[in-house]
């Protein structure tokens, strides 16, 4: 039974019950039947009128509320209740509903503005983006997505029809496979779950990174080849220009060239395989061999002094590259005068410190001196110091540069002696 029928039945029973009570009361008082009938007839009219008024009041109010809520569901926001008499008991309720409708209308307008702004922003993106609702139906796609997926993407179309596959709370599409980085993000909107699917084209970025890596590899290897082959050629020229050849001297020069060549070949092989420094194989070794090699390659016009402990901890191959680069940089900085280089190895709080100083002009720009490929030299490559810093970092340490107060540069490398492998 509907609420309206319940109300009619209740009002009818109420009127009948009141008239029955009046009849019973007057009968007990000894009224005659004519008097009782007359009284009941006189009371029937106002009671029926009152019941009808209550019914009309309820029906009009409910009908108005029902009509208003239905219109609200259909999206109409401009409807308002008619102004009722101030004695109407529903006046306050009407005011509250009107106020609520006004707030709802303003919120809806704000949502529409935000949706419009968001749509314009997403449409301007070159990244394909689309939205799916809780039933996996398309509720938005930007222009880039529509162009990338080679079929019409109509709003409301199921994801499967569009070629999307849903697996493990994320969407996938065959169009976005290699060279694309896809992401699915779930979120709640109006207490309903939605998914945002986006795809980023990384193929061009990967190609650019690969090209940059190859260029850097060529620069580093070329730099190391020049640093090693130039003094090796100088030692060979010295032998060839000598009037008399001493067998011991020849063996010494050839041995140094062989050692330097072996170190260089090993370094180039490891670096070219990884396009970066290999993990250091740190151990204790005698620094004297690297020192003698550096002195031989530096030549007669470069004085190299050594202080400290000749036992060094680290990867001997990478440490050798550091020393060769630092000696070469110091020589290039002291072209106008004889170069004087000092190398010192000492330990401080379980750290090994290698300090190299020279008598050159110092660094012109300390802020950028460790930036890869940055150089102030006319024919420089900007690789030497950045490679040394990378080797120090590879050992778990760091490289610091500074200018001495008395002139010249000061370079300090430090790393822990017990650096884990």
Domain boundary assignment for the chain: 3-107, 125-201, 206-416
Closest by alpha carbon to 328, among 282, 279, 398, 260?
260
- The answer to whether residues 304 and 291 touch, using CB atoms and an 8 Å cutoff, is yes
- Give me the CATH code for the 206-416 domain, please: 3.30.565.10
Which residues, other chains included, contact 314 with Cβ-Cβ below 8 Å and sequence gap of 6+? 280, 282, 283, 285, 352, 395, 415
DSSP 8-state assignment for residue 281? -
- The answer to whether residues 301 and 320 touch, using CB atoms and an 8 Å cutoff, is no
Helix (H, G, I), strand (E, B) or coil at 227: helix
- The answer to whether residues 90 and 98 touch, using CB atoms and an 8 Å cutoff, is no
pLDDT at 414: 93
Q: Compute CA 228 distance to the chain's CA centroid, rounded to the nearest angstrom.
A: 42
pLDDT at 352: 94
Closest by alpha carbon to 15, among 50, 58, 59?
50
Q: Do domains 125-201 and 206-416 have the same CATH topology?
A: no
Which residues of the chain register pLDDT less than 70? Answer: 1-4, 64-65, 68-95, 97, 178, 203-232, 235, 239-240, 242-243, 245, 260, 263-277, 335-337, 368, 371-384, 419-421
Give CA–CA dist 208/185, Å, rounded. 28
pLDDT at 274: 41
Q: What are phi and psi of 78, to 5 degrees?
A: -95, -5
The total of other beta-carbon atoms located within 10 Å of residue 9's CB is: 11
Task: Enter the tokens of residue 131.
Answer: 């939205």
Q: Which residue shows structure tokens 């409708």?
A: 101
Task: Enter the tokens of residue 314.
Answer: 């680290």
CATH architecture of 125-201: 2-Layer Sandwich (3.30)
Closest by alpha carbon to 179, among 197, 198, 203, 199?
203
pLDDT at 143: 85
| Beta bridge partner(s), residue 355 | 344, 412
- The answer to whether residues 398 and 392 touch, using CB atoms and an 8 Å cutoff, is yes
């Amino acid at each position: 039974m509907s609420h309206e029928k319940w109300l009619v039945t209740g009002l009818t029973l109420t009127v009948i019950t009141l008239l029955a009570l009046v009849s019973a009361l007057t009968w007990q008082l000894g009224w005659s039947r004519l008097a009782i009938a007359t009284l009941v007839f006189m009371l029937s009219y106002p009671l029926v009128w009152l019941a009808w008024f209550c019914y009309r009041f309820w029906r009009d109010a409910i009908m108005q509320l029902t009509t208003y809520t239905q219109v609200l569901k259909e999206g109409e926001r401009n409807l308002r209740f008619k102004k009722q008499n101030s004695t109407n008991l529903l006046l306050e309720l009407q005011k509250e509903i009107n106020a609520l409708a006004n707030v709802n209308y303003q919120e809806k307008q704000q949502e529409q503005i935000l949706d419009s702004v968001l749509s314009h922003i997403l449409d301007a993106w070159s990244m394909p983006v689309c939205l799916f609702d809780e039933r996996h139906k398309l509720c938005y796609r930007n222009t880039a997505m529509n162009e990338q997926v080679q079929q019409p993407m109509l709003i409301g179309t199921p994801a499967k029809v569009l070629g999307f596959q849903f697996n493990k709370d994320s969407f996938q599409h065959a169009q976005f496979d290699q060279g694309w980085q896809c992401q699915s993000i779930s979120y709640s909107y109006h207490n309903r779950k939605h998914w945002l699917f986006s795809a980023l084209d990384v193929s061009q970025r990967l190609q650019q990174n690969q090209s940059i890596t190859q260029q850097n590899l060529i620069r580093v290897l070329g730099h190391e080849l020049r640093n090693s082959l130039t003094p090796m050629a100088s030692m060979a020229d010295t032998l060839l220009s000598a009037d008399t050849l001493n067998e011991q001297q020849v063996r010494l020069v050839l041995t140094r060239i062989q050692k330097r060549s072996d170190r260089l070949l090993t370094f180039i092989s490891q670096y070219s395989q990884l396009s970066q420094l290999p993990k250091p194989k740190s151990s204790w070794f005698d620094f004297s061999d690297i020192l003698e090699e550096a002195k031989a390659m530096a030549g007669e016009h470069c004085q190299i002094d050594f202080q400290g402990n000749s036992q060094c901890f680290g990867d001997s191959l990478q440490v050798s590259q550091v020393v060769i680069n630092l000696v070469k940089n110091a020589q290039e900085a002291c072209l106008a005068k004889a170069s004087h280089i000092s190398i010192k190895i000492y330990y401080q709080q379980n750290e090994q410190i290698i300090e190299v100083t020279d008598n050159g002009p110092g660094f012109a720009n300390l802020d950028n001196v460790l930036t890869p490929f940055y150089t102030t030299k006319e024919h420089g490559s900007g690789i030497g110091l950045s490679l040394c810093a990378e080797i120090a970092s590879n050992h778990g340490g760091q490289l610091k540069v500074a200018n001495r107060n008395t002139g010249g540069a000061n370079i300090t490398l430090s790393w822990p002696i017990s650096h884990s492998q």
